[in-house]
Structure 1
Amino acid sequence: MNPIHFFTLGYYPEYLFIGIIWGIIIGFYTHFRVKYALNNSKLSKNKKLIINFIIPILAFICCLNIWSNAAILTLYLFLSSILADVIRIIWKYLIKDKYLNFIPQYHEKGILALVIFAIIIISGVYGMNHIELTEYNLTTDKINNGSYSIVWVSDIHYGTVQNPQLVKESISKINDLKPDIVVLGGDIVDERTTKEDMNEIFKELGKINSTYGTYYIFGNHDTQPDSIDYENGNRTFSDRELNKSIINNGIKILNDEKTSINDDIVLVGRSDAQWEGENNRIDIGKILNESDLSQYVVVLDHQPIKYEENSQQGADLQLSGHTHGGQLFPYSIFERLTGHLVYGEFHFGKMEMIVSSGLTGWGWPMRNEAKCEYVLININ
């Protein structure tokens, strides 16, 4: 990872207020925690004052951009220290045991907090580097020609935060499933994917064998929007080069378009809504009014939005990604508090909806919410 990403990793001014509040809380706590840790230090009074001034200020600065690695690591240090405080209190008042007499000293020097912090980070790195299959079984009376298996893969963000070899191994496992349909649900690449990596991932994905083909919808990161290219504003590949790489590898793009498969399934691929705005994309009602609703209608939308409208218009299934299942605590809490569907299976009227946590994640090379996954949907 480029060192600059430690403090950048995306900047959105609308979240600055949260960062300031976050920074004030952690900064104040850090001041008193560092003062406590230096109580028995042999350092001079002036050195203690300088240290106890600089560290809280650094903690505050790190929190200002809540989407940075600096912010999440500072938060986890804060939470680890709070948990260490709780352990110290429990030891003192509830289970004061001679075999645990090391706790006060380890707590005062911050060793206990650092051990907890290390566990959080190691588990997060482990979570980002293990990919699992998630399977759903759905039933319908709309299919006349047997059953179908759909593999849904989203949010690979290739060449950024996960070992590319893991992605290639997952593609091999997808091939072993012998799926009828493969759908790539957007954000397969992002603003930090090089042109070489972009071409490599679509070459690998083009190797997937499926009965009725591989289909692609765009996510909010695929086209490397300039507003989130934080280093220099320059793209590494153009829209034309991206589309060419996708198509040349035998993958069909559905961008506010639909296709019928074996007169049983209609795939409706939506253009990305660009951060939940409609982006002037075609109205779903217009697309579905021109579709055969006696077939099983699958709406493919990178972001898990407009599900109630899709249900009302006659869709049977919506597949989405984008959320990464929250990826890191406490971001999933923010997502749920703001009414977003973060991960799993949902029902709206007669329509079922599946939100995948994605094959990888974005930005941070860690994951402690949901899991890295590719999804197999059996429709019977």
Structure 2
Amino acid sequence: MKYAFNDSRLSKNNVTIISAIISIFALICCLNIWSNAAIYTLYLFLCSLFADIIRLIVKYPLKDKYLKFMPKLHKKGGLALIFFIIIIISGVYGMNHIDQTEYNITTQKIGNDSYKVIFISDTHYGSIQNPQLLKDSIPRINELKPDIVILGGDIVDERTSNSQMKEVFKELSKINSTYGIYYIFGNHDTQPSQTDYENGNRTFTDLELNQTIRKNGITILNDEKTTINGDIVLVGRSDAEWDGVADRANVSEILNESDLSKYVIIADHQPLEGMENSKLGADLQVSGHTHGGQVFPYKEMIELIGTNTYGEYSFGDMKQIVSSGFTGWGWGIRNEAKCEFVLININ
């Protein structure tokens, strides 16, 4: 606000009153830290702070010998606004650009064979990203000739319409996978009513969701396991944020009597229980949910509480790969991690 009223003809008292009113209004808008108002206000503040630091450097160590336009640009808030615009434009680009991220894992458990595993999570279809981006990515994925495709949850969410729900699974079924497409649920797939921003009502039932997934030839693994080509045991977990989470099966129960000489992959929407899964004989865990933080400083906040946010981690002999997801959630920008689908080469 100081920037905005520099050189104004208003009295100092009027400037103080107007600034206070606007600041209080901004505070009210930011009470929900997940809102666009909160993140944009935070960025305006950080950009203003950064602009002040730049101005001080130019003014004192450099003695205003260079960048002579800086004092006037800074005084009216132009420098801060430029930084803010750059952040927003790059954030919009980040939300609308899909990368392929590749990991290579070596194991003695699958002999001379190798497998290409595609992991896709958190598409939140129909919410904040252009659906065409997913459609355009299907041919790119097919060019990789995947052996196994794992859909890691939150493919749909509270703002996905019934028709969009049917559309996204039809599109995903177009992926050509040698040994099939497998699905686990995330915390948004079943449209929890407490976070339905539109009208508090679901647009599709659990039955409709399950029927649509299976109709498109996709296998649901909900605290279940399957053996793939005699080499791989794939365990699909129910989500930890579902009602009745205390009843979520233990991995030890699901793996009961499994041949641990096979390569064990655990798909869990949230990157939980890494050490426990490692001790039970798992070789790889794939997860999403975190979005890699999506917007600064959420990645840093999540990591402070000890949550694996993005990338490859090790728990004993087990690797855990956490994807930042195919899109974001809530905000229409991304400036931490990236939108991605994951290719895992198991050699």
What is the TM-score when the length of structure 1 is the normalising length? 0.88
Q: Which residue of 1 aligns with 2:309?
A: 342
**Whole-Å separation in 2 of the counterparts to 1:221 and 1:162:** 16
Partner of 2:61: 94
Q: CA RMSD in A?
A: 1.6
Moved more, 137-146 or 115-124: 137-146
For residue 203 of structure 1, what is the aligned residue in structure 2?
170
Instruction: From the superposition, tell whether residues 36 and 166 of structure 1 become closer, same or farther in structure 2 (CA, over 3 Å).
Output: closer
2:224 to 257, 262, 274: 257
Moved over 6 A (4+): none
Name the amino acid aligned to 1:301: D
Q: Report the equivalent of 2:116.
A: 149
Q: Distance in 2 between matches of 1:39 and 1:106?
A: 12
Deviation of 1:308 (Å): 0.6
For the pair 1:62 / 2:40, whether they are aligned, the reply is no
Q: Match of 1:186, as an amino acid?
A: G
Instruction: Provide closer, same or farther for how the CA distance between residues 275 and 253 of structure 1 changes in structure 2, counting only shifts above 3 A.
Output: closer
Unpaired runs of 5+ residues, structure 2, are: none
Residue in 1 that maps onto 2:346: 379
Which residue of 2 is the match for residue 176 of structure 1?
A: 143
| Residue 248 (structure 1) aligned with residue 215 (structure 2) | yes
Q: Which residue of 1 aligns with 2:41?
A: 74
Change in CA separation of 1:238 and 1:301 when aligned onto 2, cut-off 3 Å: same
1:114 corresponds to which residue? 81
Q: Find the partner of 1:282 among 249, 260, 270.
A: 249
Question: Unpaired segments of 5 or more residues in structure 1?
Answer: 1-33
What is the deviation of 1:324? 0.5
What is the Cα deviation at residue 40 of structure 1?
Answer: 2.1
Deviates more, 1:368-377 or 1:283-292: 283-292
Distance in 1 of aligned mates of 2:24 and 2:225: 54
CA contact (8 A) 1:288 1:314 kept: no
Are 2:181 and 1:214 aligned? yes
Conservation of the 8 A alpha-carbon contact between 1:149 and 1:379: yes
Q: Which range is displaced more, 220-229 or 272-281?
A: 272-281
Shift of 1:288: 1.5
Which amino acid in structure 2 is aligned with residue 317 of structure 1?
L
- In the alignment, the residues of structure 2 paired with residue 277 and residue 41 of structure 1 have an alpha-carbon distance, to the nearest angstrom, of 59
The letter for the 2-side match of 1:352 is K
Q: What is residue 204 of structure 2 aligned with on the other side?
A: 237
**Matching residue of 1:127:** 94
How much has 1:185 moved relative to structure 2? 0.3
AA at the equivalent of 1:255: N
Alignment length (residue pairs): 347
| Residue number in structure 2 paired with 1:294 | 261
8 A contact 2:58–2:66 mirrored in 1:
no
State yes or no: 1:303 paired with 2:265: no
Report deviation, 1:289.
2.3
SS at structure 2 position matched to 1:297: strand
SS of equivalent residue, structure 2 residue 189: coil
What is the one-letter code of the residue matched to 2:218?
I
Partner of 2:191: 224
Say whether residues 1:322 and 2:250 are aligned partners. Answer: no
Contact 2:159 2:197 in 1 (8 A): no
Q: CA deviation at 1:101?
A: 2.0
Tell me how far 1:109 sits from its aligned partner.
Answer: 1.1
Contact 2:6-2:76 at 8 Å conserved across structures: no
Is the contact between residue 190 and residue 205 of structure 2 (CA under 8 Å) also seen in structure 1?
A: yes
SS, match of residue 58 in structure 2: helix
Question: Which amino acid in structure 2 is aligned with residue 282 of structure 1?
Answer: A
Tell me how far 1:59 sits from its aligned partner.
2.1
Work out the percentage of aligned pairs sharing the same amino acid: 68
Where 1:268 maps in the other structure, the secondary structure is: strand
Query: Greater helix share, 1 or 2?
Result: 1
1:119/1:50 Cα in 2 relative to 1: closer, same or farther (>3 Å)?
Answer: same
Q: SS where residue 289 of structure 2 aligns?
A: coil
- Give the secondary structure class of the aligned counterpart of 1:233: coil
1:363 is the counterpart of 2:295: no
**Contact 2:101/2:341 (<8 A) preserved:** yes
Instruction: Note the C-alpha offset of 1:233.
Output: 1.3
Aligned-pair CA distance for 1:106: 1.5
2:319 corresponds to which residue? Answer: 352
1:363 to partner: Cα distance? 0.9
**Other-structure match for 1:27:** none
